[in-house]
């Protein structure tokens, strides 16, 4: 059952913040202070000449306490929380490209905590609370917008399933409201309510859900980690993982060998490749997921809206583009681009649900590489190698997990004990069959999610 | 993407359903639970050349082994599963 917006793909370079470091920000590392209304006023009156880069671009040192492989949202958040929560600052993040250039820079920016199963439920609940405090914690505008996520239902059976899910969300302490057709019509009058095939019967509204500025999340965590002493090392591809007598001792990279006591792998769609360097095979298949953005329009869609009868989810970015996506292309791929049949399918679904968007012109589409796990739920765990930790399996839902994943992974790396909200994200659950988190009820094997 | 079914010829990707890694053809014995679990769950998941199973659902309903590249989406070969799974 389509349970909600997949929410991993995004707006690319959609909103007009510069890509380069320091386009907007004030680097505290360079002593230029915190962001504040006063500071923006002052800079505005003095020609904006006082802004400095957000973070340094250091060369790797020979040794660190902790290495995080992967400078995406999850890796940067992990580094930030290692420093913030555990006082570990002799840390480096190794990124093969530029920071935030992978899935965190190409998702549909949806934030939500509407999961039903124990394990997922408490994790995403914790993550949403971190989202709500993120801007204050990072002193960075991540444009968190709790505009509400509305999952539509189109049949009696689906209404019952959503009522159950809403109850699960409220039992977890989060918010959910089951809306009837009239209430949905008041909220989003532009839907094709009387569609002959898929009439809209109502929806499940999660008001604390919404969207955030995806690149800003990566930059905010990068800036926070950098200011606490973490080295963010770009253009540094890990080519090998050094293991001596069952214990990790460091990594080989394109910028030389780096020794470390602990190493964390947080590389999303590339998880299998990096884990193979440590002799591991993972329960992961990498698939392609596409998303789309239209030209900028005046405000027309105020929420995140998901179609319950076909995989389609949409929101409008603050710049005005309609950002929408659908399902996987459903075959293993590292191409970061998809096929036309899924493009057609997504457009059909959108037109079925809200014909008013038919005249909007699509500007761009793109694909990302999803680390699909057999049960559709993630893995945050130790590995068979001492000091080597794994964070993967986010499937098509990694964006909303960024703060929670970073927080829980940092806890695991720092203390060697799982963090309670992520304690069920075990690597061995597929072998033992215990604690499988098959949110969609379709089975815990590849290609079912 | 188009796949050339050995029975039907070149057909649109929409006629086919993807199953996954062709390792599913070499099922280990049930005696060793670890080997069985590894076979079911663990994947090489290569960035590059791979062999996977496709079902020609909207065509001849044959199961196919497709050798293709996960980075370029190039298709190298398509063969009937029947040839190697005749039991």
pLDDT for position A273: 98
Mean pLDDT over A436-442 rounds to: 92
Q: What is the pLDDT of residues A69-96, one digit of tens each?
A: 999 999 999 999 999 999 999 999 999 9
The DSSP code for A172 is T
Q: Which CATH superfamily is domain A37-124+214-285+375-432 in?
A: FAD/NAD(P)-binding domain (3.50.50.60)
Say how far apart CA A371 and CA A392 lie, in whole Å: 7
pLDDT at A275 over 90: yes
8 Å CB contact of A330 and B18 = yes
pLDDT at A6 over 80: no
Residues A370 and A8: beta-carbon distance below 8 Å: yes
- pLDDT tens for chain B, 87 residues: list them: 899 999 999 999 999 999 999 999 999 998 999 999 999 999 999 999 999 999 999 999 999 999 999 999 999 999 999 865 544
Q: What is the DSSP string of A24-57?
A: S---TTTT-----HHHHHHHHHTTT-----SS--
Q: May I ask the CATH architecture of the domain A149-212+289-360? A: 2-Layer Sandwich (3.30)
Percent of chain A past pLDDT 70, that is, above it, reads 93
Owner of token pair 């929101």 = A315
pLDDT at A13 over 80: no
Residues A72 and A8: beta-carbon distance below 8 Å: no
8 Å CB contact of A282 and B47 = no
8 Å CB contact of A284 and B43 = yes
Mean pLDDT over A52-75 rounds to: 97
Please give the backbone phi and psi of residue A304, each rounded to the nearest 5 degrees, phi first. -90, 120
Q: What is the pLDDT of residues A404-416, one digit of tens each?
A: 999 999 999 999 9
Mean pLDDT over A193-199 rounds to: 95
Domain boundaries, chain B: 2-83
Q: How close does chain B come to A306, measured CA to CA in Å?
A: 24
Residues 6+ apart with CB under 8 A from A147: A210, A211, A302, A303, A304, A315
Q: What is the pLDDT of residues A246-257, one digit of tens each?
A: 999 999 999 999
Question: In A181-255, at which residue ranges do the beta strands (DSSP E only) sit?
Answer: 202-206, 210-211, 231-233, 238-244, 247-253
Judged by a CB distance cut-off of 8 A, whether residue A231 touches chain B is: no
pLDDT at A191 over 50: yes
Q: How many CB pairs under 8 A join A and B?
A: 70
8 Å CB contact of B45 and A282 = yes
**Best residue in A367, A446, A448 for a mutation probing chain B (most B CBs within 10 Å):** A446
Given pLDDT bands bounded at 50, 70 and 90, which one contains residue A440? confident
Q: What is the ipTM score, two decimals? A: 0.94
8 Å CB contact of B45 and A285 = yes
Given pLDDT bands bounded at 50, 70 and 90, which one contains residue A20? very low
pLDDT for position A310: 86
Chain A residues lying within 8 Å of B65, measured CB to CB: none
- Locate the chain A residue with the closest alpha carbon to B12: A341
Judged by a CB distance cut-off of 8 A, whether residue A267 touches chain B is: no
pLDDT at A15 over 60: no
pLDDT at A342 over 50: yes
pLDDT for position A121: 97
8 Å CB contact of B43 and A431 = no
**Which A positions 336-375 lie with beta carbon below 8 A of chain B?**
339, 341, 374
**Which A positions 278-337 lie with beta carbon below 8 A of chain B?**
281-286, 330-335
Q: What is the pLDDT of residues A201-216, one digit of tens each?
A: 999 999 999 999 999 9
Owner of token pair 């065509």 = B59
pLDDT for position A8: 34
Mean pLDDT over A171-193 rounds to: 98
Beta bridge partners of A92: A67, A231
Rounded to 10 deg, the angle between the A120-138 and A402-415 helix axes is 100
* Residue A326, token pair as written in the block: 């659908």
What CATH number does domain B2-83 carry, 3.20.20.10, 3.40.50.720, 3.40.50.1370, 3.30.2270.10? 3.30.2270.10
Q: How close does chain A come to B55, measured CA to CA in Å?
A: 12
- Locate the chain B residue with the closest alpha carbon to A344: B14
For A53-80, give one letter per residue: b (16+ CB within 10 A) or e. Answer: bbbeeeebeeebebbbbbbbbbbbbbbb
Domain boundaries, chain A: 37-124+214-285+375-432, 149-212+289-360
């Amino acid at each position: 059952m389509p349970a909600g917006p997949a929410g991993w793909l995004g707006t690319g370079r959609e909103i007009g913040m510069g890509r380069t470091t320091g386009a907007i920000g004030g680097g505290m590392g360079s002593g230029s202070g915190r962001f504040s209304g006063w500071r923006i006023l002052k800079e505005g009156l003095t020609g904006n000449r006082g802004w400095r880069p957000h973070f340094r671009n250091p060369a790797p040192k020979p040794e660190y306490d902790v290495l995080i492989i992967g400078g995406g949202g999850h890796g940067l958040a992990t580094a930030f929380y290692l420093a913030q929560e555990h006082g570990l600052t002799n840390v480096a993040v190794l990124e093969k490209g530029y920071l935030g250039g992978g899935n965190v820079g190409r998702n549909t920016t949806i934030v939500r905590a509407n999961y039903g199963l124990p394990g997922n439920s408490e994790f995403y609940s914790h993550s949403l609370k971190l989202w709500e405090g993120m801007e204050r914690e990072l002193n960075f505008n991540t444009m968190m917008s709790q505009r509400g996520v509305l999952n539509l239902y189109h049949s009696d059976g689906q209404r019952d399933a959503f009522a159950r899910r809403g109850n699960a969300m409220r039992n977890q302490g989060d918010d959910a409201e089951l809306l009837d057709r009239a209430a949905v019509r008041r909220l989003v009058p532009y839907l094709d309510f009387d569609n002959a095939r898929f009439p809209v019967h109502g929806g499940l509204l999660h008001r604390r859900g919404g969207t955030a500025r995806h690149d800003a999340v990566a930059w905010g965590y990068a800036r926070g980690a950098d200011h606490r002493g973490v080295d963010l090392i770009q253009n540094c591809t890990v080519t090998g993982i050094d293991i001596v007598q069952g214990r990790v001792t460091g990594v080989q990279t394109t910028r030389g060998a780096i020794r470390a006591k602990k190493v964390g792998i947080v590389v999303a769609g590339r998880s299998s490749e990096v884990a193979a360097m440590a002799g591991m095979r993972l329960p992961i298949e990498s698939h392609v997921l596409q998303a789309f953005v239209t030209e900028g329009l005046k405000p027309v869609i105020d929420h995140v809206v998901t179609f319950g009868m076909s995989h389609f989810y949409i929101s409008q970015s603050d710049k005005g583009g309609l950002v929408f996506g659908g399902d996987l292309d459903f075959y293993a791929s590292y191409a970061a681009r998809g096929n036309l049949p899924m493009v057609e399918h997504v457009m059909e679904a959108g037109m079925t649900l809200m014909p008013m968007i038919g005249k909007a012109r699509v500007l761009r589409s793109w694909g990302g590489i999803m680390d699909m796990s057999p049960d559709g739920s993630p893995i945050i765990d130790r590995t068979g190698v001492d000091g080597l930790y794994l964070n993967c399996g986010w499937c098509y839902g990694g964006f909303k997990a960024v703060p929670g994943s970073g927080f829980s992974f940092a806890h695991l790396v720092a203390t060697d004990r799982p963090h309670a909200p992520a304690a069920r994200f075990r690597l061995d659950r597929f072998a033992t069959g215990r604690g499988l988190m098959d949110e969609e009820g379709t089975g815990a094997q590849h290609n079912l999610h | 993407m188009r796949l050339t079914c050995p029975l039907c010829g070149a057909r649109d990707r929409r006629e086919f359903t993807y199953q996954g890694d062709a390792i599913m053809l070499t099922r280990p014995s049930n005696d060793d639970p670890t080997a069985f679990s590894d076979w079911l769950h663990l994947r090489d998941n290569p960035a590059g050349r791979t062999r996977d199973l496709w079902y020609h659902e909207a065509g001849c309903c044959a199961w196919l082994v497709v050798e293709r590249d996960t980075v370029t989406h190039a298709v190298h070969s398509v063969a009937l599963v029947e040839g190697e799974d005749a039991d």
